[in-house]
Amino acid sequence: MLYADENSFDIGAKITRTKPVLLPIGAVEAHGPHLPLGTDNILASEYSARIAAETDGFVLPVLPYGQVWSLQDFPGSLTLSNETVTKVVVEIGESLYKQGFRLFVPVSGHLGNMAALKDAARELYAKYPDMIILHIFYPNIQKLAMDVREGKANHHTYIHACEIETSLMLYLSPENADMSRAIDDPPILPIDADFTPTPWQNFTKTAVLGEATLATAEKGEYLIEKTLKTCVELIKLEQEKIRKSTEME
């Protein structure tokens, strides 16, 4: 299941057009006092492993650097440009295509990567129309979060080091969440935050966008299992498309 654990002699037999290849992508980014800088890498890796387990997919090594514009000035954060993230993903996609794969699934644990992934997907689609690229960030999690959130929603799309993301960690990697240091710091976002470049230090000192103390593994389980189900459905749908187009050839 872990692509990099395979060897060159044996992997050939496992390469098929419908095999999903999952690329976990995260970031090194401030996540408050209770979660590590590598939170999004851990989540992307664990989540990808779950998807792979249900779809007999390969999990590539995590790409642990992402686009961290909003939090780049917080201690410890590292950022790549959108352009560079796109290039890396496109070139990995090209390599996979040449290897014979046709279903490439970048799975981000970090919302900031999604614009780059969408660009990468379109670029690959233009070059290799017979490869399908699924770009995934916990499908529909914003809606599902309403079902479990006890604290305040601070923004229609952000989930960061808060009740929600901490819950994901408590379910997927509890040993990496130090709840003894969890804090609540729901910010008031300025009304222009979505309309003008707004580094997050403008409205939070902690990078905890909510009430981390409200996080539970149960909430994480709900969100992961629900979104995971969608991921599996999406992959099966794409596999079906590939099968049909292969038959038609």
Write out the binding residues for a second copy, residues 161-180 only, by CB under 8 A: 178
Q: Which stretch binds a second copy (CB under 8 A): 49-57, 144-152, 193-201, 211-219?
A: 193-201
Distance (Å, rounded) from C-alpha 166 to C-alpha 225?
15
153 touches a second copy by CB under 8 A = no
Sign of the Cα torsion 53, 54, 60, 61 reads negative
For 107, which DSSP code?
E
Exposure of 248 by Cβ count < 10 A (0-12 exposed, 13-18 middle, 19+ buried)?
exposed
- The size of the interface with a second copy (CB under 8 A), counted in residues, is 79
Site string for a second copy, 203-222 (x = CB under 8 A): ---xx---------------
Contact indicator for 51, 232 with CB cutoff of 8 Å: yes
Closest separation in Å from C-beta 246 to a second copy: 17
Binding residues among 26-85 for a second copy as defined by CB under 8 A: 28, 30-38, 41, 60-65, 69, 72-84
Contact indicator for 45, 24 with CB cutoff of 8 Å: yes
160 touches a second copy by CB under 8 A = no
- The residues with which 33 forms a beta bridge, in sequence order, are none
136 touches a second copy by CB under 8 A = yes
